[in-house]
Structure 1
């Protein structure tokens, strides 16, 4: 289980609810939970929807694209 899925489940949100709350498609959330690297704007939207800092994701197993790392630092 990756950090996104862990945070989502901790808040008792379904993928559909998180998608609605973050304005990100369910398919994108599924891909990130399956290990695909999120884009910077996607990461920001998810962090905001989950009420966490973007850096929260970097400490776990969500692979971040190198381009996104500059936004987190």
Structure 2
């Protein structure tokens, strides 16, 4: 009856690494290209922008979808 439009994913996982009972992910916002560091596990979870050695936010320009 109604067709659902396929919604593009806003966030994609760029890298992941297991750490004991949790994991660390680098997630990229496909609209802005901003990289985020995200942790998961049995304890508190969090997400924060990923910074380079100069304290600037890391942006993947190739991952930005218009």
Normalised by the shorter chain, which TM-score bucket? under 0.3
User: Which structure has the larger Rg over C-alpha atoms?
Assistant: 2
The TM-score normalised by the length of structure 2 is: 0.26
Larger relative helix fraction:
1
Flag the structure with more relative contact order, 1 or 2, with Cα contacts below 8 A and sequence separation at least 6: 1
